[in-house]
Amino acid sequence: MKTKASDAKKAYRTQQWIAGIILTLGGLLVAIPFIWMILSAFKTESEVLQLTPTLWPETFTTENFIYLFENMNFAVYLRNTIIIVLCSFVGLFFNAMAGYAFAKYKFKGREKLFYLVLATMMIPGQVTMIPVYLILNQMGLTNTMAGVVLPGLVGAFSIFLFRQFMSTIPDELLEAARLDGASEFRVFMQLILPISKPIMAVQGILTFIGGWNSFLWPLIIANDESLYTLSVGLSLLKGQYGGNFALQMAGSTFMVVPIVIIFIIFQKHIIEGYTISGMK
């Protein structure tokens, strides 16, 4: 009997090792593009074009990154991208406000309006792309920062998640604050938002990532290079310097590494966020 138990334990440990090895190989496969990108970004142009590629840069250079800022407008692209990220946080605030009202107020048309919000999630981007462009054109907002930012400012899914979270806040808490004479907006700012920190963290990170990565809408709306974002600039780089892979890898590294760092710092919130949002 005893040997049987130890046999089972042994088999279990072997299985653990096999699972670990499969995941290590898979993980390596998934990580190769990142590793190759970062290493190639520090190589010289001629080293990247060797027929036998080197893994580690022979001559370590930061020339590619300097070139991006001196000969291309990466500083401008970076500034625009940061503006978009900041604006998208205003959108996040609107989402939180709407989610709060749907969760904690009873008002006429609440259910219908909420279904309307949810319905917008079903609409594919390709359907609204052209009419939104025509609307912005009519408003005179093409080729402006407002035109780039406005269409994606609020999102139904984000409103939905805020509502889910905020409906768990007890009503008594709100009543107490109101009895103390706090205005509705103050209740929201000083009571609701601090309580909603977990969902705010998830949404904040996702908003940051979304804003940083925004590509298609800036590409459609901005004709002027001074309005380009990093990703639009990078696609321009791909077209202009098609053969210079070292430079392209430097541009990609510049886009990807900040996101990866932010993700690693806040990953707990993101991954746990899926459990918070009740996506089971």
Partner 1 sequence: MKSHSKAAPYLFIGPALILLALFSLFPIVLALIISFTDIDLAGLADYSNISFIGIENYLNIFKDPIFLKSIGNTVFYVVFGVPLVIACSLGIALLINFGTARIFKAFRLVFYMPSITNVVAVAVVWTYLYNPQFGLFNYLLGLVGIPAIPWLQDPTVAKGSLIALAVWRAIGVNMIIFLAALQGIPKTYYEAAQLDGANNWKQLTKITIPLLRYAIFFVSITTMIGWVQFFEEPFVMTDGGPLDSTTSVALFIYRNGFQLSNFGYAAAGSFVLFATIIIITLIQFRLQKKNTDL
- List 86, 130, 173, 261, residue binding partner 1 (CB under 8 A): 130
Q: Is 161 in the site for partner 1 (CB under 8 A)?
A: no
> What minimum distance in Å lies between the beta carbon of 144 and partner 1?
15
Residue choice 82, 129, 145, 195 for contact with partner 1 (CB under 8 A) = 129
Q: How far apart are CA 70 and CA 65, in angstroms?
A: 9
Taking CB under 8 A as the rule, which mask of x and - marks residues 30-49 in contact with partner 1? xxxxx-xx--x-------xx
132 is a contact residue toward partner 1 (CB under 8 A): yes
Residue ranges of the alpha helices (H) in the chain? Answer: 2-41, 45-48, 63-70, 74-104, 110-119, 125-138, 145-149, 156-166, 171-179, 184-187, 193-195, 197-213, 216-221, 230-240, 245-276
Instruction: Name residues contacting partner 1, limited to 255-274 (CB under 8 A).
Output: 255-256, 259-260, 263-264, 267, 270-271, 274
163 exposed, middle or buried (CB, 10 Å; 0-12, 13-18, 19+)?
A: buried
- Counting contacts by CB under 8 A, is residue 150 touching partner 1? yes
Q: For partner 1, which stretch binds (CB under 8 A), given 16-24, 61-69, 72-80, 195-203?
A: 16-24
Q: Which is nearer to partner 1, 161 or 234 (CB)?
A: 234
CB distance 44 to 61 below 8 Å: yes
Q: How far is CA 140 from CA 84, 146, 157, 204, in A?
A: 19, 10, 29, 30
| Only segment of 56-64, 65-73, 196-204, 234-242 that touches partner 1 (CB under 8 A) | 234-242
User: Does residue 198 bind partner 1 (CB under 8 A)?
Assistant: no
DSSP letter at 191?
Answer: I
Q: Taking the complex as a whole, how short is the minimal distance between the CB of residue 141 and partner 1, in angstroms?
A: 11
Q: Quick one: 70 or 171, whose CB is closer to partner 1?
A: 171
Residue from 122, 168, 170, 224 that binds partner 1 (CB under 8 A)? 122
Which amino acid would we find at residue 125? G
How many angstroms separate the Cα of 227 from the Cα of each of 97, 139, 211, 224, 272? Answer: 29, 18, 14, 6, 36
Site for partner 1 in 51-70 (CB under 8 A): 51-53
